[in-house]
Structure 1
Amino acid sequence: MSDKVTRRDFLNGTQIAIGASMVGPWSELLAASGSPFDLSSDYYPPAKTGLRGSHDGAWETMHARVAGRDFKAPRADEKYDLVVVGAGISGLSAAHFYRKEKPDARILVLDNHDDFGGHAKRNEFSINGKTRIGYGGTESIDTPSSYSQVAKDMLVDVGIDTQKFYKLYHQELYASMGLSKGILFDKETYGEQKLVGGYNRIPWQEFAAQTPMSDKARADLIRVWTDERDYLPGLGRDEKIAKLSKMSYYAFLRDLVKVDQQVLEMYRRWGMSFWCVGIDEIPATSVQSYDGGMPGLTHTLPRVGYRGDEPYIFHFPDGNASVARLLVRKLIPDAVPGNTMEDVVTARVDYSRLDRESQGTRIRLNSTVVNVRHTGRNDNVDVTYAHGNEVYTVRAGRCIMACYNSVVPYICPELPTEQKEGLAYNVKVPLVYTKVLVPNWRPFAELGLDFVYYTNDFFKQVELDYPVSIGNYEFGKTPDDPMVLHMCHVQHFPDIKGPEQWRAGRRHLLGTPFSVYEGHVRDQLDQALSGAGFDAERDIHAITVNRWAHGYSYSNDLLWEPEWPDPKQTPWYKARQPHGRITIANSDAGVQATTNSAITQGHRAVMEALQG
């Protein structure tokens, strides 16, 4: 891969016609044997730049299926004990759990993407003969103490010792250099565009004085951070929780704290990379632990613990893509060299070994499942999928749907109406993780920044990578070392509320060409860093846009979610019920966008399959 961003990098990301996308990607990937499923020895998706995530070639077939296209199902030509639909962490976990219970089982895992791991996506870059690794999706094992026992045990089973991260993660690196968050205030709201560093590090009076805010807004910002005030005096803790859980954080700041509108605008998009909505849809009770705590609540609703209060350090350089790699190593040892959590980071996966006849478990990529149905006397399940220009069918004793819940009704039309409605309730959240390779991060160091928040721009943030060194992979700890920057985009719709904004966001993402993302990357990095000599034209060496039109799983913690007194009446409970020999996995089934949910739901689906 070239050190400089080339036109070829950009062409990787451009939209292509559906017909072409169902032909082109596979013609270059076949091994010499000519088998439609074999991959060549140099097949290596993590090194691709341009438009990744839900890349072109991965989504068009399913969109055609949803639009009503009928795929004629040929006779089944392969037989497996289990077929798993989806090679994300939930699907790989399900295969792992099933293999533990049935060591001799024949298992096939099908996935529409060109890589395994689902949202746990690995991005690799090369610069000056060195490899830099980034995460294109699921980024961390968040608070492992809160994981289910099943999930904790699985991490150990695949070789992960989370306690090692206390030494692997350089927790004090950025703080020891005096780096902190900066805010780039936008001209439309504040009268001038201005970058102000030292957020939550220097005294608030000093920070506020540097902002382009009005005098009243500055005073309110200082007050909301420094006043030791209870804004709900006379109420007990339970009463406060009941009130604040039904009040948005925006309304809390506006109506109880009574801050100026400029302060509200400063925080409006603060949590977009986490909740993917503005603070006007986030309950005030939910922001206590986000980003170290949001202002105004400290003395109104003091925080009482947070899932063990573990630091946010349980992070491989490629995020949870290493968890997926370790699962694949467990299932197909020949495909992932090595034997430790350290060496998996620098191991080069041999994709040509994922799908071989001699293996008990096979992973078949670039394969979009379009139909799943019981056969005969419901003693088998036929799974039909598209691969390249052809359609194939395999027969399975059991099938686990570890794909997006929202597509299951289209793939399994025989499901009961109530279950289809429950599955459709899950509207996944669109978002973009963009990785930018730069030759050094000296401009950040000179400006005293490790993170820049944009009050109103396309990308919500740019931040330095998590400082983790593991095995033979050494993080670039000095400002003169190469760095993979992280930028996050979620389309904000001020006038659209609830899940409908995510449907609109999905249309926006799929209709946005790579050139638009690239343009915003260049403009926003220049805006923030040019004062320290950064030049986007010179200093950007590669860009990978991880577009997730169906990103985070729906979570039931936002203001519009109704109360569900009976857990068995929730849409997600109805959605994940087994249907004959078909069971449902994926983090969607647990209404949590977490690796814990993905693993736990994969295990539940396996147990139900074995009992059915």
Structure 2
Amino acid sequence: MSFSPRALGMDVPITRRDFFDGIAVSCVAGSAAHKPLTPARPFTVRGDTSEALSVAHALRDGRFWERAGPPVPTGESYDLVVVGGGRGGRGAAAEWLRRRPGASVLLLDNHDRLDEREPAPTGFDAVMCDAESFGSDTLVATGSPGWIERLPIADRARRELRLLHDDPPDWFPGVPAEGKQERLAGLTYSGFLREVCGAHPDVERFCRTMPSAEWGYDTRAFGAIDAWGTGYPGFAGLQLGEEPSRFNSPTVRSRRHGAAPAAAVPALDGRVRVRASSPVVSVRDGAGSATVGYFDGHQVLTVAAGAVILACWSAVVPYLMPDLPPERLRALRQATRVPLLEATVRLRDADAWRRLGVRRVRWTGAYWCASAFTPPDTVRLLATPCRSELGPGAGSAAGRRELLMTPYSTLEHTVRDQLARLLGPVGFDPGGGIAEITVHRWGHALAPEYCRPWHAFYPDGPFPSDAARGRFGRIAIAGSDAVPAARGEAAVVAALQAVEELTR
């Protein structure tokens, strides 16, 4: 079904907010006619916004110091300066103060406030086999009896999907368990379905977005060994047991071991001085202390530090400390983060979603791959810009470039279109039923995780993070992409390691 911009409500006065990597983006309102902002259509932006990233991009491109002017010392001195206000940075500050309660601590961050993304929606109870994948939209509740029979896929694909779920064979007969795991480690899940199972294209197409909400990429990048470890269909006949494989990624290994979720990071108290919208541009170790320079929007200011913890993206560190050894610089640059896109929609008419009968919906090929309802009136949508066919690293870089070029009007149109397609059959009006749309664009969202088949050095090493991490004089490198750990715990693990290195 096709909806006109007017039918979707693109011209309706509502609150529209856009954020890029946590910072509000200033731009033209997202109406179909691209009208300028008016008081009736307030527009703000958050996330990895241009304001948050402009200094880092200028450093990357070699433009920043041409116009920045000489640094201006503030005369301030701190026992610890933390660069980065995310989970790792706050964890480092809290741990430092736990060990040294009387210490002075400054935390600097490039975003306008310290906040974190909500966990991705999981546990989908329905799948929208959408027009992008199958020519028309069909919503199927996957927990109901006979749900496979209601899928709009070929008869052969239904038979194969039932086999994968109910009674898959041993695809590698006569091969020992370690050999089976090694074969899976060389494949993506899409590759496993196509090359090992010989599955109909509709099967791969139906399964493609299964990992997207959690991992930021689809089955064309998601490893088959991790698909087995996560419980995806098709592996029961291999009889690999319950223990994780050594080839599983850290997150999957942790999950199969039944590890508890990472502990919450303590809230920062008044002992930590926080400066938001203060991107760090230089970090130097000197004879008496380290010097940290940050841009306050007008000039570069410097503070002295007895110790520095860089709890920021590893790929940024080479621009802050270009004099690091070449091997460490190369390792730091390898940490490419995965982009994510989130939209929060406040409904005027939430009854339509209640009539739908499900709360979490996975989409098989539309722009937004997941939609979840939170009472009383909020819908959260998630999109994964990563070009998964290129792999997690190259695909993330390509997807991030495309995300930067995607106008808000396109994002708003796809949000309204998909809600109309999902909720329209149960009486939802996309023109008048939406009160507010907030978009968060995270160009650098998920820390990279070592996984097969993309990292041949995993699990035996040596790991790039080993060369990237560690103390350099009074400076320690942390951040969630500085350790080969499960995503939920990586930032905290790195923070604790950095504090230990600097205080022992």
TM-score grouping bracket, smaller chain normalisation: 0.7 to 0.9
Residue 409 of structure 1 is matched in structure 2 by 318
TM-score (norm 2): 0.84
In structure 2, relative to structure 1, the CA distance for the partners of 1:224 and 1:457 (3 Å cut) is: same
> What is the aligned-residue RMSD (CA, Å)?
2.9
Deviation at 1:574, TM superposition (A): 0.7
Residue identity opposite 1:589 in structure 2? A
Aligned residue-pair number? 464
Task: Tell me which moved more, 270-279 or 256-265.
Answer: 270-279
Of the candidates 54, 69, 75, which is equivalent to residue 77 of structure 1? 75
TM-score (norm 1): 0.70
Of the candidates 209, 215, 218, which is equivalent to residue 149 of structure 2? 209
CA contact (8 A) 2:141 2:147 kept: yes
Deviation at 1:455, TM superposition (A): 1.5
Residue 548 of structure 1 is matched in structure 2 by 442
* Separation in 2, partners of 1:101, 1:78: 22
Residue identity opposite 1:97 in structure 2? E
* Separation in 2, partners of 1:494, 1:84: 34
Residue identity opposite 1:537 in structure 2? G
Residue 6 of structure 2 is matched in structure 1 by none
Residue 284 of structure 1 is matched in structure 2 by 224
Of the candidates 493, 511, 514, which is equivalent to residue 387 of structure 2? 493
CA contact (8 A) 2:368 2:384 kept: yes
Secondary structure at 1:77's aligned position in 2? strand
Give per-residue Cα distances to partners, 1:387-413, cap 9 Å, x unaligned.
122321111111110011100000111
Of the candidates 110, 113, 116, which is equivalent to residue 115 of structure 1? 113
Of the candidates 99, 102, 113, which is equivalent to residue 101 of structure 1? 99
* Separation in 2, partners of 1:533, 1:282: 37
Residue 201 of structure 2 is matched in structure 1 by 261
CA contact (8 A) 1:84 1:400 kept: yes
Secondary structure at 2:344's aligned position in 1? strand
In structure 2, relative to structure 1, the CA distance for the partners of 1:299 and 1:80 (3 Å cut) is: same
Deviation at 1:226, TM superposition (A): 2.0
Residue 538 of structure 1 is matched in structure 2 by 432
Residue 58 of structure 1 is matched in structure 2 by 52
CA contact (8 A) 2:167 2:236 kept: no
Give per-residue Cα distances to partners, 1:143-164, cap 9 Å, x unaligned.
xxxxxxxxxxxxxxxxxxxxxx
* Separation in 2, partners of 1:493, 1:576: 28
Give per-residue Cα distances to partners, 1:49-83, cap 9 Å, x unaligned.
85322134211111111111213312242111110
Give per-residue Cα distances to partners, 1:462-505, cap 9 Å, x unaligned.
1234xxxxxxxxxx4xxxxx232221111253653351211111
1:594 counterpart = 2:503: no
Of the candidates 301, 304, 325, which is equivalent to residue 392 of structure 1? 301
Give per-residue Cα distances to partners, 1:26-45, cap 9 Å, x unaligned.
xxxxxxxxxxxxxxxxxxxx
Percent sequence identity over aligned pairs: 29
* Separation in 1, partners of 2:165, 2:225: 17
Secondary structure at 1:281's aligned position in 2? coil
CA contact (8 A) 1:431 1:549 kept: yes
Of the candidates 117, 127, 133, which is equivalent to residue 183 of structure 1? 127
Residue 7 of structure 2 is matched in structure 1 by none
CA contact (8 A) 1:12 1:49 kept: no
Instruction: After TM superposition, list the pairs within 5 Å mapping 1:502-517 onto structure 2.
Output: 502-517=396-411
* Separation in 1, partners of 2:301, 2:414: 41
Secondary structure at 1:327's aligned position in 2? coil
Residue identity opposite 2:48 in structure 1? S
In structure 2, relative to structure 1, the CA distance for the partners of 1:489 and 1:308 (3 Å cut) is: closer
* Separation in 1, partners of 2:405, 2:54: 13
CA contact (8 A) 2:261 2:488 kept: no
In structure 2, relative to structure 1, the CA distance for the partners of 1:496 and 1:285 (3 Å cut) is: closer
CA contact (8 A) 1:431 1:491 kept: yes
* Separation in 2, partners of 1:237, 1:272: 28
Residue 430 of structure 1 is matched in structure 2 by 339
Residue 193 of structure 1 is matched in structure 2 by 136
Instruction: After TM superposition, list the pairs within 5 Å mapping 1:426-465 onto structure 2.
Output: 426-439=335-348, 441-465=350-374
Secondary structure at 1:216's aligned position in 2? helix
* Separation in 2, partners of 1:401, 1:408: 8
Unaligned regions of 5+ residues in structure 2, if any?
Answer: 1-10, 28-41, 244-252
* Separation in 2, partners of 1:452, 1:282: 20
Give per-residue Cα distances to partners, 1:496-540, cap 9 Å, x unaligned.
335121111111222223222211110011111111112222222
CA contact (8 A) 1:553 1:593 kept: no
Residue 232 of structure 2 is matched in structure 1 by 294
Residue identity opposite 2:440 in structure 1? N
Residue 584 of structure 1 is matched in structure 2 by 477
Secondary structure at 1:526's aligned position in 2? helix
Secondary structure at 1:400's aligned position in 2? strand
* Separation in 2, partners of 1:49, 1:238: 55
Residue identity opposite 2:467 in structure 1? K
CA contact (8 A) 1:197 1:449 kept: no
Residue 151 of structure 1 is matched in structure 2 by none
* Separation in 1, partners of 2:17, 2:211: 30
Deviation at 1:309, TM superposition (A): 6.2
In structure 2, relative to structure 1, the CA distance for the partners of 1:91 and 1:6 (3 Å cut) is: farther
Task: Tell me which moved more, 209-218 or 305-314.
Answer: 305-314
CA contact (8 A) 2:242 2:256 kept: no
Residue identity opposite 1:264 in structure 2? E
CA contact (8 A) 2:209 2:219 kept: yes
Secondary structure at 2:193's aligned position in 1? helix
Residue 607 of structure 1 is matched in structure 2 by 500
Deviation at 1:90, TM superposition (A): 0.6
Of the candidates 202, 214, 217, which is equivalent to residue 274 of structure 1? 214
Give per-residue Cα distances to partners, 1:77-103, cap 9 Å, x unaligned.
211111000111111111111111211
